[in-house]
Amino acid sequence: MLLREFLSTQTGPRVKFGDLHDALEDRGFGVLLFIFAFPNLIAANIPLVSSVLGFPLVLLAAQLTYGRHKPWFPHWLTAQTFPREKFTAITLRALPYLERAEMLFRPRLTFMLSWTAERLIGVALLILAVILALPIPFGNWLPALSMSIIGLAMVEKDGLALRPGSGSAWRR
């Protein structure tokens, strides 16, 4: 898994957001959507988490809508660092769920991830990101879940998982 590989390369006391961004390569949109949406799924509603994590989600969704092939962030954001221990702890906690989810996602209906389709996905994500960023108590769980699923589907090139009502597509 990409995040596990990234963790193995980090040896310093802090992780630079720009390094994570560079390591993601062409799967950047999907992974970053998941990284910024997933913390909002935590059962405890931590104040302002959705507002803080909503800004990068709005930025990512706007870029997808605009048609960028790789995510772009301002220099001040890519220069931000965070403690490696905390990033490692969060990532290791999320990895078992991600690895289980990867078994459900696989490349299929890839035309639903074409250049034009990604613009439409970007519009939907932009709406979800704005809703997520609003300070609505317990109102961020469903947008965060949707954005997490869309992010994973983009990483695995699973157009079937993007379909509305695609829960039945995950049955084997």
For residue 10, what are the domain limits?
A: 2-163
Q: Is residue 169 part of a domain?
A: no
The pLDDT of residue 43: 56
The pLDDT of residue 172: 47
- The model's pLDDT over 79-109, given as tens digits with 9 standing for 90+, comes to 888 888 888 888 888 788 778 877 888 888 8
Q: Is residue 170 part of a domain?
A: no
Tell me what percent of the residues of the chain surpass a pLDDT of 70: 92
Q: Is residue 14 part of a domain?
A: yes
Per-residue pLDDT, averaged over 36-60, amounts to 80
Q: Is residue 100 part of a domain?
A: yes
| Helix/strand/coil (H/E/C) assignment for every residue in 109-156 | CHHHHCHHHHHHHHHHHHHHHHHHHCCCCCCCHHHHHHHHHHHHHHHH
Position 166 pLDDT exceeds 70: no
The kind and range of the H/E element at 16 are strand 14-16
Distance CA 115, CA 29 (A): 13
Q: Is residue 172 part of a domain?
A: no
> What is the chain's mean pLDDT, rounded?
83
Per-residue pLDDT, averaged over 110-136, amounts to 89
Q: Is residue 150 part of a domain?
A: yes
Residue 142 burial (C-beta neighbours within 10 Å; 0-12, 13-18, 19+) = middle
Structural domain count, the chain: 1
- The model's pLDDT over 49-78, given as tens digits with 9 standing for 90+, comes to 788 888 889 999 999 999 888 888 888 888
